[in-house]
Structure 1
Amino acid sequence: MDILETAAYDRRQRRNTSCALLFSLLPFFLSTALFFYLWTTDSPASIVSAAVKTAPTVLLAAVVLSWNGGQSVLGVAGGLLFSAVGDCCLVWPELFVHGMGAFAVAHLMYSLTFLSSRYPTRSSSSLTIVLFLILLTIGGGYYMYIYPFLQKAPDSELLIPGVGVYIVLITLMGALAIRTRHAATLLGSLSFIVSDIALALQVFKVTQLQHGNTIVMGTYYLAQLLIAVGDIKATANKEDFGKWKRS
């Protein structure tokens, strides 16, 4: 009977936690809806448009900090804040390289977090290497595909090596996300890759996607949401496991 009561209590706790997390994410959903409501293809670059664009990511960082504490500044919360810097830079096309650098730091912080004890190893390191090589091969093929367009860009001397390094970092992040075996984390990393692919196709004038910005920002906000939720869930699962071991 005690075991049944404990199991029922754990289910109630998980349900209450999920409801509390959903409630704390409401500002993110509202700010995302505001962005899509206000944004148009001819929206001028301004401080206001930058604030509207970065608000969802900053709010997500605040949610992660409130759930996981200050140590997450060096992890997913920090990655979200660097992403917000990248969002702000991309409002002005001439700051694209700076934005790419900020996102590269964010991917590095995500990768280090996925390697931490918060995400227990559930697959062999050799499998992680294989997955990384597969993703890197795909990324390398994509890099070769857009290379002629990078050569035509005004900042080609910075973009050609910069985009190459960026592809390596986001590929590493994706491979390490697969390694965690957390569904939200995995889907978030893949959504981030899709968003960046769609963005590059437009920025480097490879092709113009119909509703391209909606695709880019929709998959981007979804990616950040899933990575944030995955990190919160991973921390909660670790704490629950620690309590179980001590009991």
Structure 2
Amino acid sequence: MDILETDAYDRRHRRNVSCALFFSLVPFFLSTAAYFYLWTPDSPPSIMSAGVKSAPVLLLAAAVLGWNGGQSILGVVGGLIFSAVGDGCLIWPELFLYGMGAFAVAHLLYSISFLSSRYASYSSSGSSSWIRLLYLIVLIAGVGFYIFLYPFLLKLPNSDMLVPAVGIYVALISLMGALAIRTQHMPTLLGSLIFMVSDLSLALQVFKVMENMQHGNIIVMVTYYLAQLLIAVGDMKAVEDKDDFSKWKRS
């Protein structure tokens, strides 16, 4: 009977935690809806448009900070804040390199977070062959994509800065994707890989690899917000699941 009561308590606890997590994300969902409702891609850059674009990610950062406390500041919270800075910079084409730099810092902070002890319970079998294979696939994809982009980067007016900058960025986002695989935590893994897909879609358009796709910007932003949501939820859930894992080990 005690076991049944404990199991029922755990189910109620998980349900309550899931509801609390959902309500903490409501501001993100509302601000994302507002962004797409107000979005006018042909309008001139402005502080307001930068704020509307950055708001969902900043609200995600606030949700993770409220959930995890300060332990994620040099991790997912910091990455979300730098992502919001990058969002604002990308509103102005002349600030593209600054925006890319901000996102590069975000990927570095995500990588640091994925190496933290909060994700350790998921990475216990990280030496298995299929995990190593996924590492290899992500890293080869990153190198291959950069090689593919290289001739297009050379054609751009500021190629002397873009060629090394894009190389560093691709290396950092590939590292972030590989470390997300290491966690074996599904929201984190999916969020990181979707982030890579979003950036791939953006790069193909920004670097003139192909003509702007119909609804191309919508694809980029939908995948981008989804990726950030999954990474944030993964970090919020990692603390809860880590506690459950610790209790299981002590039992």
Q: TM-score normalized by structure 1?
A: 0.96
Task: Name the CA distance, whole Å, in 1 between partners of 2:86 and 2:57.
Answer: 10
Q: Indicate if the aligned counterparts of 1:132 and 1:171 stay in contact, CA closer than 8 A.
A: no
Alignment partner, residue 123 of structure 1: 125
Task: Name the CA distance, whole Å, in 2 between partners of 1:129 and 1:182.
Answer: 15
Alignment partner, residue 56 of structure 1: 56
Task: Name the CA distance, whole Å, in 2 between partners of 1:246 and 1:125.
Answer: 25
Q: How many residues align?
A: 247
> RMSD across aligned C-alpha pairs, in angstroms?
1.4
1:69 is paired with a residue of what secondary structure?
helix
Task: Name the CA distance, whole Å, in 1 between partners of 2:6 and 2:156.
Answer: 62
Listed one character per residue, the Cα deviations across residues 36-87 of structure 1 (whole Å, up to 9, x for unaligned) are 1111220210000000000000000000000000121111011000100110
Aligned pairs for 1:112-191 (under 5 A) are 112-120=112-120, 121-125=123-127, 127=129, 130-191=133-194
Q: Pick one of 217, 237, 240 that aligns with 2:241.
A: 237
Listed one character per residue, the Cα deviations across residues 151-188 of structure 1 (whole Å, up to 9, x for unaligned) are 12222111101111111111111111111111111110
Q: Pick one of 205, 220, 223 that aligns with 2:224.
A: 220
Alignment partner, residue 200 of structure 2: 197
1:153 is paired with a residue of what secondary structure?
coil
Task: Name the CA distance, whole Å, in 2 between partners of 1:53 and 1:41.
Answer: 11
| Structure 1: runs of 5 or more not aligned | none
Task: Name the CA distance, whole Å, in 2 between partners of 1:152 and 1:141.
Answer: 19
Task: Name the CA distance, whole Å, in 1 between partners of 2:159 and 2:138.
Answer: 24
Identity, in percent, stands at 71
Moved more, 27-36 or 136-145: 136-145
Shift of 1:239: 2.0
Q: Indicate if the aligned counterparts of 1:82 and 1:103 stay in contact, CA closer than 8 A.
A: yes
Task: Name the CA distance, whole Å, in 1 between partners of 2:222 and 2:59.
Answer: 16
Task: Name the CA distance, whole Å, in 1 between partners of 2:144 and 2:74.
Answer: 32
Q: Indicate if the aligned counterparts of 1:76 and 1:113 stay in contact, CA closer than 8 A.
A: yes
Shift of 1:139: 1.5
Q: TM-score normalized by structure 2?
A: 0.94
Task: Name the CA distance, whole Å, in 2 between partners of 1:49 and 1:55.
Answer: 10
Aligned partner letter, 1:142: F
Alignment partner, residue 26 of structure 1: 26
Pair 1:246–1:141, CA change in 2 (3 A): closer
| Structure 2: runs of 5 or more not aligned | none
Aligned partner letter, 1:34: A
Shift of 1:134: 2.1
Aligned pairs for 1:83-122 (under 5 A) are 83-120=83-120, 121-122=123-124
Shift of 1:209: 1.5
Q: Indicate if the aligned counterparts of 1:122 and 1:179 stay in contact, CA closer than 8 A.
A: no
